[in-house]
Amino acid sequence: MSDVIDVPLDSESPLVDPPIVDDLYLNADLDEYIITFIPDDCVSRNEKETVAIPHDSEDGRRVELRLSELSRILGTSVIRLFHAGGGDFGFFLSDGKQRHLSDPVGSSEASQEIYVQLQDLGMIAQIAFRQEQLLKHRTA
């Protein structure tokens, strides 16, 4: 039996600590993952940052692994994900449908597994962004 997951969407305090993936998709033309994320304050004071990660890079393989895990948990292929506010996230699926973490399907264990993958994706994006910034400062 599936447990209903109560995700308060009107909370003033964030339910997930930064870095938080705000939007993630594969740009097929560039063969890069484009990730917009909410960074930790120690990385950037901007509300959001964006990083492009080549699909065939080491970080790209990490992103692909996390997306594969999300697809396994959700039972269908995830092609894009986005932060839907508070602790909620949305997933565009390969069949054209959309699901939200707050939808009353799945178990609380599955929700926790999804959060782990989302946290890892946020950290991958933030580290890639930070490396990009450090490289820019070295060459300047």
Q: What is the pLDDT of residues 81-108, one digit of tens each?
A: 999 998 999 999 999 999 999 988 778 8
Of the ranges 54-63, 102-111, 112-121, which one carries the lowest mean pLDDT score?
A: 102-111
Q: What is the pLDDT of residue 15?
A: 62
Res. 127 pLDDT band, cuts 50 70 90: very high
Q: What is the pLDDT of residue 137?
A: 87
Residue 138 has pLDDT above 70, yes or no: yes
Name the nearest CA neighbour of 37 among 50, 54, 53: 50
Q: What is the pLDDT of residue 114?
A: 95
